[in-house]
Amino acid sequence: MQLLEDASRRAMAYLESLESRAVRPHPDAVARLDRLEVPVPQHPTPDAEVIAQLDEFISPATMGMAGPRFFGFVIGGSLPVTVAANWMATAWDQNVGYDAATPGAARIEEVSRRWLLELLDLPRDCALGFVTGATVANFTALAAARNAVLRRAGWNVEADGLFGAPPIQVVVGEECHPTLLKSLGMLGLGRSRLTRVPVDSQGRMRADKLPKLSSPTILCLQAGNVNSGAFDPFPELIAGARDAGAWVHVDGAFGLWARASKLLAPLARGLELADSWATDAHKWLNVPYDSGLAFVRDAQALRSSMAITAEYLPDQGARRNPSDFTPELSRRARGVEVYAVLHSLGASGLSLLIERNCAQARRFAEGLKAAGFEILNDVVLNQVVVSFGDAERTRRVIEAIQEDGTCWAGVTVWQGKTGMRISVSSWATDDEDVEHSLAAMLRCAKATE
Ligand X SMILES: Cc1ncc(COP(=O)(O)O)c(C=O)c1O
Closest CA to 277 of 261, 253, 299, 259: 253
CA–CA distance, 165 with 183 (Å, rounded to integer): 19
CA–CA distance, 135 with 152 (Å, rounded to integer): 26
Please say which residue, 64 or 133, places its beta carbon nearer to ligand X.
Answer: 133
Q: Is residue 179 involved in binding ligand X (CB under 6 A)?
A: yes
Q: Is residue 74 involved in binding ligand X (CB under 6 A)?
A: yes
Please say which residue, 179 or 304, places its beta carbon nearer to ligand X.
Answer: 179
Asked if residue 228 lies in contact with residue 254, where contact means CB atoms within 8 angstroms, the answer is no
Rounded to a whole number of angstroms, the minimum distance from the CB of residue 268 to ligand X is 13
Classify 44 in phi/psi space as left (phi over 0), alpha (psi -120 to 50) or beta: beta
Q: Is residue 258 involved in binding ligand X (CB under 6 A)?
A: no
Asked if residue 152 lies in contact with residue 216, where contact means CB atoms within 8 angstroms, the answer is yes
Please say which residue, 98 or 231, places its beta carbon nearer to ligand X.
Answer: 231
Q: Choose one: 247-255, 261-269, 299-307, 346-354; the region binding ligand X (CB under 6 A).
A: 247-255
Q: Is residue 133 involved in binding ligand X (CB under 6 A)?
A: yes
Please say which residue, 291 or 406, places its beta carbon nearer to ligand X.
Answer: 291
Q: Is residue 183 involved in binding ligand X (CB under 6 A)?
A: no
Burial 57-91 (b: 16+ CB within 10 A, else e): eebbbbebbbbbbbbbebbbbbbebbbebbbebee
Please say which residue, 264 or 438, places its beta carbon nearer to ligand X.
Answer: 264
Q: Is residue 421 involved in binding ligand X (CB under 6 A)?
A: no
Q: Is residue 99 involved in binding ligand X (CB under 6 A)?
A: no
Rounded to a whole number of angstroms, the minimum distance from the CB of residue 292 to ligand X is 6
The 3-state DSSP class for residue 383 equals strand
Q: Choose one: 100-108, 202-210, 249-257, 293-301; the region binding ligand X (CB under 6 A).
A: 249-257
Q: In the window 285-344, what residues touch ligand X (CB under 6 A)? A: 292
Residues paired with residue 199 on neighbouring β-strands, in sequence order: 205
Please say which residue, 174 or 403, places its beta carbon nearer to ligand X.
Answer: 174
Please say which residue, 150 or 271, places its beta carbon nearer to ligand X.
Answer: 271
Q: Which amino acid is present at 353?
A: L
Please say which residue, 183 or 321, places its beta carbon nearer to ligand X.
Answer: 183
DSSP output for 56-100: HHTGGGS--TTSTTB-STT-----HHHHHHHHHHHHHT--TT-TT
Q: Is residue 177 involved in binding ligand X (CB under 6 A)?
A: yes
292-296 sheet: strands from edge to edge: 127-131, 292-296, 276-280, 247-251, 217-222, 169-173, 195-197
The 3-state DSSP class for residue 294 equals strand
The 3-state DSSP class for residue 255 equals helix
Q: Choose one: 64-72, 132-140, 324-332, 348-356; the region binding ligand X (CB under 6 A).
A: 132-140
Rounded to a whole number of angstroms, the minimum distance from the CB of residue 257 to ligand X is 12
Q: In the window 191-210, what residues touch ligand X (CB under 6 A)? A: none
Q: Choose one: 55-63, 92-100, 219-227, 441-449; the region binding ligand X (CB under 6 A).
A: 219-227
Rounded to a whole number of angstroms, the minimum distance from the CB of residue 24 to ligand X is 20
CA–CA distance, 449 with 373 (Å, rounded to integer): 13
Q: In the window 134-173, what residues touch ligand X (CB under 6 A)? A: 134-135
Pairing state between β 195-197 and 169-173: parallel
Size of the site for ligand X (CB under 6 A): 15
Q: Choose one: 91-99, 127-135, 203-211, 235-243; the region binding ligand X (CB under 6 A).
A: 127-135
CA–CA distance, 51 with 10 (Å, rounded to integer): 9
Please say which residue, 57 or 73, places its beta carbon nearer to ligand X.
Answer: 73
Q: Choose one: 94-102, 130-138, 346-354, 364-372; the region binding ligand X (CB under 6 A).
A: 130-138
Q: Which member of 226, 241, 264, 365 binds ligand X (CB under 6 A)?
A: 226
Rounded to a whole number of angstroms, the minimum distance from the CB of residue 74 to ligand X is 4
Pairing state between β 374-375 and 383-387: antiparallel
Q: Choose one: 131-139, 227-235, 323-331, 366-374; the region binding ligand X (CB under 6 A).
A: 131-139
For the CA atoms of 124, 130, 134, 135, the dihedral, rounded to the nearest 10 degrees, stands at: -130
Rounded to a whole number of angstroms, the minimum distance from the CB of residue 374 to ligand X is 23
Alpha carbon 189 to its chain centroid, in Å, reads 22
Please say which residue, 134 or 260, places its beta carbon nearer to ligand X.
Answer: 134
Q: Which residue is nearest to ligand X (CB)?
A: 133
Q: Which member of 79, 122, 219, 253 binds ligand X (CB under 6 A)?
A: 253
Q: Give, as one character, the DSSP assignment of residue 205.
A: B
Please say which residue, 177 or 332, places its beta carbon nearer to ligand X.
Answer: 177
Helix (H) or strand (E) holding 116: helix 103-119
Q: Which amino acid is present at 247?
A: W
CA–CA distance, 198 with 214 (Å, rounded to integer): 19
Query: Which residues contact ligand X (rule: CB under 6 A)?
Result: 73-74, 133-135, 177, 179, 222, 224, 226, 251, 253-254, 280, 292
